[in-house]
Structure 1
Amino acid sequence: MIPRGTVVSGPYAPIPSSVTRTSVRLGSWFQRHDGVARALAAVATVLGATYLVWRVIVTSTGVDPWLFWPLLAAEAVGYASFVIMVVETWRLPPTPRPPALDTTVDIVIATYNEELDIVEPTLIGALAVRGRTTVYLCDDGRRPEMRALTERLGAVYVTRPDNSHAKAGNINAVLPRLQGELLLVLDADHVAAPDILEAMTGYFADDRVALVQSAHSFRNHNSVMHHESGRHEQSLFFDVLLPGRNRLRSVFWCGSAAVIRLSALREVGGIATVTSTEDFETSLLLQKAGYTLLYHNEHLVQGLAPDNLAAYTVQRARWAEGTLSAFHWRLRMPFGRGVSASQKLSYVGTLLHYLTPVQRLTFAVYVVLVGAYGLVPVAMPGIEGVAFWAAWMLIAGLTATALHRGVTGRVEGVRSLMLSLEPHLRALPALITRRPMRFHVTPKNEPDLGGWEAVRFVRLPLIVALTLLAVLVARGVDTVGIALGGPAVLPPLSLGAFAVISVFSVLDIAVTVQLAVRAHRRRQHRTLWRFPVSLPARVEGLVGQCVDLHQRGAAVVVDRAAAEFATSVELEVECRSVTGGPATARGVLTITSRAAVGPSGARLRIGGPVVWHDDASRDSVSEHCYVVEPYQARNRVWTRRAPRVPVNLTAIVGASDSTCVDVSIGGAAFLTRSAEVALNQRVPIELMLDRGERVSGQLQVRNVTAVSGGLLRVGGVADWSHTAWLARYGAVVHTPGSRERARSQSLRSSRVPVSGR
């Protein structure tokens, strides 16, 4: 979780953490040194196997089998998880954008008790998705305000008589009404990017592809599971593991942000309803039917992460119970006929992930047995044995850091384990019992008041940490007493054994205490995330700058004269629409905070709730914050990282005839004679493609350079009206490598000429 006081500034660009530098500096270094990471992984895999063989042959002599084998089993489980992680993360392939299909897509948003402030941006985003779409809001809450919102925005409102099978039943109820070839499923809080279908529909040119999953990104960077802005606990899964699983064809549906072939879904009987994790279960049905499930490694939706530990625990408990129930000894869904060996390997890794708390508690029990009772479970051959164990631990940790590529650090991984310790343990009975499972919706848009109420959600890790601390203190006191000439109270213990239990205990104690302190100190009173923006604004007619914004509030920097004594002011904010055009939002800002800006104090930063004058203003704010800001921020990043493809296309920049000389998913460069182009200016652009097709957009000018012949070379960030056409001029590839490498990959895979004349 982000420490208290962390400031998130500037618009967040939703891109994979595995391709951008993070605060985990060592891991980020390995993003561009994959060969070193794989070499480490190979050495660690061999060393780990050697260590386990050594444990069996050398350290079992004379040891009580009831002590020896459970510990070895726990270590073997850890090694198996490590090997599966190595296989899955061995190589992260670039992410292509295959040519988009011109097909019909139904967008289904399932909701139950989410409030209007959550669902409204999701609907606005879905309606802004480019393509031939129909948007359905499936409301199991059957609320009049949701019907009114849906009808006002122009979507289709759907209800059903009951709420059987929760989300799965909600989607199944609307399936007979759907007419499209593909289905995009969105959770109620997941706002889609305008180009999500342009990025994902191309995969369905292969008739055996039934589902394409994309990443889940989260807009509330102050959530309980965020490590830093844009990087959170689930980044490892979406930015590293799933891209790697593409090679193994072991991707599964993650409940939202996925495009599904409707005919395939109907073939397997619709959304599965046996477990509470309908996404995982449905994925298994599709794979057993012979279909392929793929992952597209772009962040194309923005959702809400759990705001506090209470919501986090609800979410993790549901995931754990539903997933483990699929592994029930009578069902064994992931191991049935039709599931390939590579898929089974990944699903074993999933099972071991949920069993990790058992392994961790096993180690804790052994610390107590060794430290308090002197029951050593290994025949440790002196300092050499400790050194062998330490070498394996160190290289395994370094390898994990390398293959995680800056997405998560070693301590962060332990902290995440501590957070999920209790909910995962509570879910374990799902492996052997068939008790009915209730679908608990994760609470959203909640405050986090910290204090002891928050600390109680890490009570089990705290109990374990206090127990380990008591053992270490008791052993230390006993050692000091012996040194002072007193009698021994505890059984004797070798220095090597004490060193091993001390390393394990100190790490667990330190991480748990840090986790509890952070949980206690967290204070987040806002329920809606404020988006950092930089937009022209007017306060009582005076020019200002809007610096953060959402559909219920804003903060503006303005001259002191505009708001020094006022309690409320008229506010205008110049937002932007998805098409790049201006959209002015007008309302009344009630001032609840006021602070001087700068040393002179001539300007004030005022903030508070806003009541917008009309629905159009509120919709403009929602579209700008939830759709336009992340979409344009992502394009700005890919402008620098995605391949630029040389072209020669007739174009218009502003009102001047020009030539487009290179394009990318988020940028373009032109040769023009226009003298009216200035830095940071937004100008309309239009390209004439082959076969008479035209594409338009907006260019934010970033550089203007004079070239020969009296021409200007103008480049910048481009917001295209659609991006499907780009694939014809060279494959659009997102890669962690340099732009030069990306460009070479793009040009090698290009299959069409680049001239549009």
Structure 2
Amino acid sequence: MSDLPITPPANATLATRPRHRLTGPTADTTYAVLRQPEPWLVRLMVLLNVLATFWYFSWLLHPERVGNPFLYGLLLLAEFFNVAQALGFWWTMLSDRPRKTPVPAAHYASVDVFVPRYNEPVDIVEPVIAASVELRGADVTVYLLDDGGSPEFAALARKYGAEYIARDEHDGAKAGNINNALAMTDSDYVLVLDCDHVPHPEFLRRTLGYFADEKLAFVQTPQYYANADRNPVAAAAWAQQALFFGCIARGKSRIGAMFCCGTNVVFRRTALDDVGGFPTHSITEDFELSVIMQERGWHTEYVSEVLVQGLGPEDMASYTSQQLRWARGCLSAVGRVLRAKLPIKIKSQYALSSLHFLTGWTVMIYMSLPVIKLLTGEQPVAASTANTFLVHFAPYFMLSIAIVGIAGGGVYKFSAYALSAASFWIHIAATISVVTRRKGRFVVTPKGGAGQWQPATVWPGLVVCGLLLVVGVRGVLLSQDAATLNNVAFAGLHLVVLGTGMSWALRPRALEERSKAELPTGESRWQSTSGRPGEDQSDPLKELVPAP
């Protein structure tokens, strides 16, 4: 990246309106915080997981356990990858610390709020602009960065006193859109909000104080899906997010390796100028930007208070699009991470996050093994010791699931696990795309469920489910010995998990009816009906959408 500040392109257009200062009374507000597990419970669960892992691997690695050498090698490959990820997860969990006390800002700073928009409709973008102009604690100017170039959105910006920037050339996707605006603005700080993420009025007061550290590049806050109470796909996606933005993000921040997640993040302008803005060659520009910034000696910070409400994917097509983009972007960044000139602990954290998107390969291996056994009789573990497999594997597996549930603060449930497992093919497709150097493109996650039958979005899982069902029934009809029943049980387990994860792609009417039934008349889709994104019963986020 260039060390030079960004210069405005000749084709840029900027609606000229005077800078305005918006202030308001100090809000006496309780902030929702993502739950933190009890430290003693975390330490206990890590200890139990270590013991269970040792118990299982001390049995598995004995030479007499080897059945079919090739299948045994595949099993070891999957298990070693999972153990490496588990070690990183335990390390991150143990690094988690209680949330920091908000730091008052040292001075009244100027902040540019960037809301990039591509093809999202007015009803999605308007609440974000309306809430952004009400941000307190700084000299705020809101910019609607319209890569769609619609007069309707120019009018929307004028309605709320926001600025409007459009581009004639649409290169670089979201990163290019932001870089274009950076070249035309000059405030001390830049807050980036996706156009479906509505900020709390106190966002800046809760984050700007951390910039007292002159080497701090950005402050990241969580992504919370307000529609999780009304939509099961959004609920499962939120549970996955809650796991990351809970103990994982707090632990990464403590280690010094928290990365930018693209929205709900406020940057120091000079840090962005130092690295030449957002990288435009990646579809996960925020991740690579973080690597570049930390290489340049900048620090990062994470505040686990839920200060913004967003909208999660509401159907399987939206979820698949989102996950495929994240997987391709993070896997394509693996080489960049490994080459990065960073301390080993920071580099390791980035690598763990990037390589997480290889997990789908391990799921495929686990699903393939019972199928191969039932069709060919070949198995990775020797038949003479297969009967003791569950004695050693079950504690290892169950404790691995339990620690994830505890780490998720009670939010991460079976539906989130099933949705993740059913997306195994996304990781495989992303890996193949990266290895074959197929050029990816930035695709905005669709906002709102399609309300249509979507088998095409889960067809790999449907094929696998069909195979597991046929092979399982065939196995039971041919033999009822212990080894066969053991593998049929594993096939059945995979069938239940995959079926649960894919179910909403095949039940669009139920999905749509539930979403409509649980949204009170006149209530915004950004308003959570439960009032509990975190641990606090009183949820200030209900006031996020000001009346027009």
State if a TM-score over 0.5 links the two structures.
Answer: yes
SS at match of 1:293: strand
Contact 1:52–1:76, Cα closer than 8 Å, also in 2: no
SS at match of 1:187: coil
1:396 aligns with 2:400: yes
Contact 2:420–2:501, Cα closer than 8 Å, also in 1: no
Q: Show structure 1 runs of 5+ residues with no match.
A: 1-12, 20-30, 481-493, 533-546, 552-624, 642-665, 667-716, 720-757
1:73 aligns with 2:77: yes
Contact 2:404–2:412, Cα closer than 8 Å, also in 1: no
Q: CA 1:718–1:299 in 2, change beyond 3 Å: closer, same or farther?
A: closer
- Structure-1 residue corresponding to 2:20: none
- Structure-1 residue corresponding to 2:56: 51
Q: CA 1:508–1:191 in 2, change beyond 3 Å: closer, same or farther?
A: same
**In 2: Cα distance, 1:269 partner to 1:245 partner:** 25
CA displacement at 1:231 relative to structure 2: 5.0
Deviations 1:628-677 (A, max 9, x none): x6799689985879xxxxxxxxxxxxxxxxxxxxxxxx8xxxxxxxxxxx
Q: CA 1:177–1:99 in 2, change beyond 3 Å: closer, same or farther?
A: same
1:226 aligns with 2:234: yes
- Choose which of 112, 117, 121 in structure 2 pairs with 1:111: 117
SS at match of 1:255: coil
CA displacement at 1:57 relative to structure 2: 2.4
Question: Counting strand residues as a fraction of each chain, which structure ranks higher?
Answer: 1
Residues 230-245 of structure 1 aligned to structure 2 (within 5 Å): 231-245=238-252
- Choose which of 113, 117, 120 in structure 1 pairs with 2:126: 120
SS at match of 2:301: strand
Structure of higher RCO (CA pairs closer than 8 Å, 6+ residues apart):
2
SS at match of 1:211: strand
- Letter of the structure 2 residue corresponding to residue 283 of structure 1: S
- Structure-2 residue corresponding to 1:15: 32
Deviations 1:200-231 (A, max 9, x none): 11111001110111011122233353338x95
- Structure-2 residue corresponding to 1:519: 505
> Sequence identity, in percent?
30
Q: CA 1:527–1:517 in 2, change beyond 3 Å: closer, same or farther?
A: closer
Contact 2:415–2:500, Cα closer than 8 Å, also in 1: no
**In 2: Cα distance, 1:638 partner to 1:45 partner:** 33
- Structure-1 residue corresponding to 2:3: none
**In 1: Cα distance, 2:504 partner to 2:433 partner:** 32
1:507 aligns with 2:487: no
1:377 aligns with 2:363: no
**In 1: Cα distance, 2:479 partner to 2:260 partner:** 55
Deviations 1:703-733 (A, max 9, x none): xxxxxxxxxxxxxx999xxxxxxxxxxxxxx
Contact 1:17–1:406, Cα closer than 8 Å, also in 2: no
Q: CA 1:212–1:430 in 2, change beyond 3 Å: closer, same or farther?
A: farther
Deviations 1:405-464 (A, max 9, x none): 31212x334312234223322211243233322211111134423xxx323322212221
Question: Counting helix residues as a fraction of each chain, which structure ranks higher?
Answer: 2
- Structure-2 residue corresponding to 1:686: none
CA displacement at 1:47 relative to structure 2: 2.9
**In 1: Cα distance, 2:422 partner to 2:397 partner:** 22
CA displacement at 1:522 relative to structure 2: 3.4
Q: Does 461-470 or 163-172 show the bigger shift?
A: 461-470
Larger radius of gyration: 1
- Letter of the structure 2 residue corresponding to residue 345 of structure 1: S
**In 2: Cα distance, 1:263 partner to 1:142 partner:** 28
- Structure-2 residue corresponding to 1:41: 46
- Structure-2 residue corresponding to 1:466: 466
Alignment size in residue pairs = 508
**In 1: Cα distance, 2:142 partner to 2:476 partner:** 66
Contact 2:198–2:310, Cα closer than 8 Å, also in 1: yes
Contact 1:531–1:549, Cα closer than 8 Å, also in 2: no
Contact 1:14–1:633, Cα closer than 8 Å, also in 2: no
1:351 aligns with 2:354: yes
SS at match of 1:39: helix
- Letter of the structure 1 residue corresponding to residue 226 of structure 2: R
Deviations 1:579-638 (A, max 9, x none): xxxxxxxxxxxxxxxxxxxxxxxxxxxxxxxxxxxxxxxxxxxxxx86xx6799689985
**In 2: Cα distance, 1:348 partner to 1:502 partner:** 36
Q: Show structure 2 runs of 5+ residues with no match.
A: 1-29
Contact 2:260–2:286, Cα closer than 8 Å, also in 1: yes
Contact 2:360–2:426, Cα closer than 8 Å, also in 1: no
Q: CA 1:310–1:630 in 2, change beyond 3 Å: closer, same or farther?
A: closer
SS at match of 1:106: strand
1:87 aligns with 2:73: no
- Letter of the structure 2 residue corresponding to residue 507 of structure 1: L
Contact 1:211–1:294, Cα closer than 8 Å, also in 2: yes
CA displacement at 1:144 relative to structure 2: 0.5
Contact 2:327–2:430, Cα closer than 8 Å, also in 1: yes
1:341 aligns with 2:344: yes
Q: CA 1:207–1:433 in 2, change beyond 3 Å: closer, same or farther?
A: farther
Contact 1:445–1:528, Cα closer than 8 Å, also in 2: no
Contact 2:239–2:416, Cα closer than 8 Å, also in 1: no
SS at match of 1:240: helix
CA displacement at 1:188 relative to structure 2: 1.0
- Letter of the structure 1 residue corresponding to residue 295 of structure 2: K
Deviations 1:337-390 (A, max 9, x none): 432222222233223321111111112221122122111222353644431122
**In 1: Cα distance, 2:174 partner to 2:458 partner:** 29
Residues 636-651 of structure 1 aligned to structure 2 (within 5 Å): 638=536
- Letter of the structure 2 residue corresponding to residue 80 of structure 1: A
Deviations 1:686-717 (A, max 9, x none): xxxxxxxxxxxxxxxxxxxxxxxxxxxxxxx9
**In 1: Cα distance, 2:476 partner to 2:514 partner:** 47
SS at match of 2:204: helix
SS at match of 1:548: coil
**In 1: Cα distance, 2:499 partner to 2:195 partner:** 35
CA displacement at 1:92 relative to structure 2: 3.4
**In 1: Cα distance, 2:469 partner to 2:515 partner:** 40
- Structure-2 residue corresponding to 1:362: 365
Q: CA 1:639–1:426 in 2, change beyond 3 Å: closer, same or farther?
A: closer
SS at match of 1:266: helix
- Structure-1 residue corresponding to 2:105: 100
CA displacement at 1:300 relative to structure 2: 1.0
TM-score normalised to structure 2 length:
0.85
Q: Does 130-139 or 463-472 show the bigger shift?
A: 463-472
- Structure-2 residue corresponding to 1:714: none
**In 1: Cα distance, 2:361 partner to 2:200 partner:** 40
Deviations 1:113-147 (A, max 9, x none): 11111111111111010121111111111111111
**In 1: Cα distance, 2:422 partner to 2:34 partner:** 21
Residues 243-322 of structure 1 aligned to structure 2 (within 5 Å): 243-322=250-329
Contact 1:418–1:461, Cα closer than 8 Å, also in 2: no
Root mean square deviation of aligned Cα? 3.1
Contact 1:14–1:299, Cα closer than 8 Å, also in 2: yes
**In 2: Cα distance, 1:286 partner to 1:386 partner:** 47
1:206 aligns with 2:206: no
- Letter of the structure 1 residue corresponding to residue 191 of structure 2: L
TM-score normalised to structure 1 length:
0.62
1:154 aligns with 2:161: yes
Q: Does 46-55 or 177-186 show the bigger shift?
A: 46-55
**In 1: Cα distance, 2:347 partner to 2:204 partner:** 30
- Structure-2 residue corresponding to 1:408: 412
CA displacement at 1:255 relative to structure 2: 0.6
**In 2: Cα distance, 1:446 partner to 1:386 partner:** 41
